[in-house]
C-alpha cells in the first residue's frame, strides 16, 4: 500500500514556534501542532503507517527560552505545502492561529522548497541600480492626504522628486476613489516624476498602490507599468500573500514591489501570531517583495528596537537564492529622528517619511532637500 503512495520528496522544512506554558503544557502543545497542522485527525485512527511516518509534523527539539516560554522546532514534509504559498502558510500557521499561546518565530526552508519561489526580482542591489544610488540610505515618501485630486497629488510628487526623494509612493489608502481615480492619478503622478527627473538628472520612481479587488490587481499593475510607474505597492494583508507573489514573479510586469503592512498588525500583537522577523521579513521575501514597510520603533506605533532588529535580520537572512530586501521603517518617522535611525539601520535602508515631510517648513521642495542633505551628511561622517 505504502509503496504506491506518490510522494515527490521526503524532504522536510522547519518551523520554530514559541510556545507559552510550563514544560508539560508546551510538550502537549508541540505534539498537538504536529497533528493539527497536517492530518487534523485522531492519532489512534491514522489509517496508514506512511501517514504517521511522513505526513504528521515531527518535533525536532524543544528548549526553554525564558521564564514562561519555550522554543519548539517542528518539521513538516515539503510535499504537504503542495508547491503553493497559500498551502505553505496553511501548514505553518493555518488552524493553530486559532489556538492561544503559539507564535511562529522563524521559517527555515530547504532549497527544494525555496526553489518553488522566484523571490524578490530587484532586492537591495536591484533597487539601488534602478535608482542610481550607490551607498546612502534611500529617501522614501508618500502622496497624501486622501481627498486630494490626482492633479494635486501629482504636484506633490513633482515637488518631492525635485527635492531629491528617491521613492514616491501612493499613500496605501489611495485606491480608486472618486477624488483621485486610479488611472488618472497614476498617469499624472508618473508623468510628474518623469518631468522632475529630466530637470534633476536623478532617477526618482513613482510607486502606484495596486491593492484592489482580486480581479483588479493585475490590471492595475499592467496599467501602472504602461503609464510609467516604476514600482507597485501591495498590502498583502488585504490582497492575500500569494497575490503579491504573483505580481512580483510576473515577467510581463517586472516592476519593484513594495510591501505595506496594512491589516497585518494583529499577527504581531499579543503572545501568539507570527514574529516581526518572520512576518515582515521572511514572508515578505518569500512573496517576492523588494522592500518591506513597517512602523519604526519610537514612532506612533508600538514596535520595539528588538522587533525592528528582527525584521532587519530577516531582510538579509540566508534564504537560498532569495535576494536581500530593503527595510523601510515608517510610521511616524521624522526628520528629527533620522540620525538615530541611521545609527541603527546603517546604509541599506529606505527612510519613509510621510506627514513629517510637511512639517519642516511651507516649501515641500526645500523640506525634501533638507531630508536629502541630512542623509547625505550622515553618510559622509
Segments in the chain forming alpha helices (H):
23-36, 49-50, 85-93, 111-114, 123-131, 150-162, 182-200, 217-227, 236-239, 241-249, 276, 284-286, 305-316, 338-345, 364-380
With CA atoms as reference, report the closest residue to 170 among 222, 219, 211: 211
Site for its own copies in 157-176 (CB under 8 A): 171-173, 175-176
Minimum CB distance to its own copies, residue 231 (Å): 19
**Beta-carbon-side half-sphere exposure of residue 304 (alpha carbons within 13 Å):** 7
Site for its own copies in 290-319 (CB under 8 A): 295, 300-302
Which CB atom, from 201 or from 215, has the smaller least distance to its own copies?
215
Q: Which of 19, 55, 127, 278 is the binder for its own copies (CB under 8 A)?
A: 55
User: Is residue 213 close enough to count as binding its own copies by CB under 8 A?
Assistant: yes
> Buried b / exposed e across 208-222, counting CB within 10 Å, b at 16+?
bbbbbeeebbbebbe
Which CB atom, from 115 or from 200, has the smaller least distance to its own copies?
115
Please identify, among the stretches 40-48, 127-135, 160-168, 372-380, the one whose residues bind its own copies according to the rule CB under 8 A: 40-48
β-strand partners of 233: 209, 258
Distances (CA, A) of 131 to 5, 126, 220, 318: 51, 9, 23, 25
Q: Which of 14, 59, 133, 238 is the binder for its own copies (CB under 8 A)?
A: 238
Please identify, among the stretches 63-71, 197-205, 206-214, 310-318, the one whose residues bind its own copies according to the rule CB under 8 A: 206-214
With CA atoms as reference, report the closest residue to 241 among 298, 187, 286: 286
d(CA 95, CA 99): 8
Site for its own copies in 330-359 (CB under 8 A): 331, 354-356, 358-359
Please say whether the dihedral angle defined by the alpha carbons of residues 160, 161, 163 and 165, taken in this order, is positive or negative: positive
Minimum CB distance to its own copies, residue 256 (Å): 19
User: Is residue 200 close enough to count as binding its own copies by CB under 8 A?
Assistant: no
| Binding residues with its own copies: total (CB under 8 A) | 96
Cβ-Cβ contacts under 8 Å for 110 (sequence gap 6 or more): 11, 12, 13, 78
Minimum CB distance to its own copies, residue 254 (Å): 17
Cβ-Cβ contacts under 8 Å for 102 (sequence gap 6 or more): 17, 18, 19, 20, 29, 33, 96, 272
Q: Which of 12, 29, 144, 285 is the binder for its own copies (CB under 8 A)?
A: 144
Which CB atom, from 69 or from 202, has the smaller least distance to its own copies?
69
Q: Which of 11, 20, 21, 51 is the binder for its own copies (CB under 8 A)?
A: 51
User: Is residue 363 close enough to count as binding its own copies by CB under 8 A?
Assistant: no
Please identify, among the stretches 36-44, 127-135, 321-329, 372-380, the one whose residues bind its own copies according to the rule CB under 8 A: 36-44
On whether the CB atoms of residues 322 and 120 are closer than 8 A, the answer is: yes
The torsion angles phi and psi of 284, rounded to 5 degrees, stand at -60, -40
Minimum CB distance to its own copies, residue 247 (Å): 9
Please identify, among the stretches 125-133, 224-232, 261-269, 306-314, the one whose residues bind its own copies according to the rule CB under 8 A: 261-269
Q: Which of 3, 22, 24, 42 is the binder for its own copies (CB under 8 A)?
A: 42
Site for its own copies in 76-105 (CB under 8 A): 79-80, 82-87, 89-91, 93-100
User: Is residue 114 close enough to count as binding its own copies by CB under 8 A?
Assistant: no
On whether the CB atoms of residues 165 and 204 are closer than 8 A, the answer is: yes
User: Is residue 216 close enough to count as binding its own copies by CB under 8 A?
Assistant: yes
Which CB atom, from 87 or from 372, has the smaller least distance to its own copies?
87
Amino acid at each position: 500500500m505504502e509503496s504506491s503512495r506518490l510522494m515527490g520528496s521526503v524532504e522536510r522544512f522547519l518551523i520554530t514556534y514559541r510556545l507559552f506554558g510550563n514544560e508539560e503544557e508546551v510538550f502537549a502543545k508541540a505534539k498537538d501542532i504536529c497533528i493539527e497542522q497536517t492530518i487534523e485527525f485522531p492519532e489512534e485512527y491514522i489509517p496508514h503507517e506512511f501517514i504517521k511516518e511522513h505526513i504528521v509534523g515531527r518535533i525536532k527539539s524543544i528548549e526553554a527560552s525564558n521564564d514562561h516560554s519555550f522554543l519548539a522546532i517542528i518539521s513538516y514534509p515539503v510535499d504537504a505545502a503542495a508547491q503553493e504559498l497559500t498551502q505553505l502558510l496553511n501548514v505553518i500557521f493555518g488552524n493553530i492561529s486559532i489556538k492561544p499561546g503559539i507564535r511562529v518565530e522563524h521559517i527555515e526552508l530547504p532549497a527544494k522548497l525555496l526553489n518553488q519561489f522566484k523571490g524578490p526580482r530587484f532586492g537591495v542591489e536591484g533597487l539601488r541600480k534602478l535608482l542610481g544610488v550607490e551607498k546612502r540610505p534611500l529617501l522614501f515618501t508618500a502622496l497624501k492626504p486622501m481627498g486630494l485630486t490626482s492633479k494635486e497629488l501629482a504636484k506633490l510628487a513633482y515637488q518631492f522628486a525635485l527635492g531629491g526623494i528617491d521613492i514616491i509612493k501612493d499613500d496605501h489608502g489611495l485606491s480608486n476613489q472618486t477624488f483621485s481615480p486610479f488611472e488618472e492619478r497614476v498617469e499624472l503622478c508618473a508623468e510628474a516624476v518623469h518631468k522632475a527627473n529630466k530637470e534633476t538628472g536623478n532617477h526618482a520612481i513613482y510607486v502606484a498602490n495596486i491593492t484592489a479587488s482580486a480581479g483588479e490587481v493585475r490590471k492595475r499593475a499592467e496599467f501602472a507599468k504602461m503609464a510609467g510607474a516604476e514600482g507597485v505597492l501591495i498590502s498583502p494583508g488585504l490582497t492575500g500573500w500569494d497575490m503579491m507573489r504573483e505580481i512580483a514573479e510576473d515577467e510581463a510586469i517586472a516592476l519593484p514591489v513594495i510591501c505595506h503592512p496594512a491589516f497585518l498588525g494583529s499577527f504581531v500583537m499579543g503572545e501568539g501570531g507570527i514574529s516581526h522577523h518572520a512576518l515582515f521579513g521572511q514572508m515578505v521575501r518569500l512573496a517576492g517583495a523588494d522592500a518591506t514597510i513597517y512602523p519604526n520603533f519610537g514612532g506612533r506605533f508600538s514596535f520595539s528596537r528588538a522587533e525592528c532588529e528582527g525584521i532587519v535580520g530577516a531582510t538579509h537572512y540566508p534564504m537560498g537564492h532569495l535576494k536581500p530586501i530593503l527595510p523601510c521603517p515608517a510610521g511616524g518617522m521624522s526628520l528629527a529622528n533620522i540620525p538615530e535611525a541611521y545609527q541603527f539601520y546603517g546604509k541599506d535602508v529606505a527612510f519613509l517619511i510621510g506627514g513629517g515631510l510637511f512639517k519642516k517648513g511651507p516649501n515641500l521642495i526645500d523640506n525634501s532637500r533638507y531630508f536629502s542633505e541630512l542623509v547625505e551628511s550622515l553618510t559622509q561622517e
